[in-house]
């Protein structure tokens, strides 16, 4: 079984955000604006993405 992947791009700055939102960015591996990472589509990653969806762009790979 091949795991689905998501391409996640940070579109807004992490400065001035809630600590928990900054931790979600760190958990997804995002550090800079316009940085993209590929993450496996798991409930844990989906939860972090949903929490900070206002500062991300998400695409299925």
0.95 exceeded by the pTM? Answer: no
> Given a cut of 80, is residue 1 above it in pLDDT?
no
Query: Residue 42's pLDDT is what?
Result: 95
CATH assignment of 5-60, among 3.30.1390.20, 3.20.20.70, 3.30.360.10, 1.10.10.10: 3.30.1390.20
Query: Residue 60's pLDDT is what?
Result: 94
- Residue from 36, 41, 42 nearest 60 by CA: 41
Beta carbons of 48 and 28 less than 8 angstroms apart: yes
What are the pLDDT digits (tens) for 4-52? 999 999 999 999 999 999 999 999 999 999 999 999 999 999 999 999 9
Beta carbons of 43 and 11 less than 8 angstroms apart: no
Query: Residue 2's pLDDT is what?
Result: 83
């Amino acid at each position: 079984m091949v795991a689905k992947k998501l391409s996640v791009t940070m579109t807004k700055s992490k400065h001035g955000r809630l600590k928990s939102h900054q931790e979600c960015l760190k958990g997804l591996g995002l550090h800079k604006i316009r940085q993209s990472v590929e993450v496996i589509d798991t409930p844990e990653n989906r939860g972090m993405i949903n929490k900070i969806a206002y500062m991300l762009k998400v695409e299925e790979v």
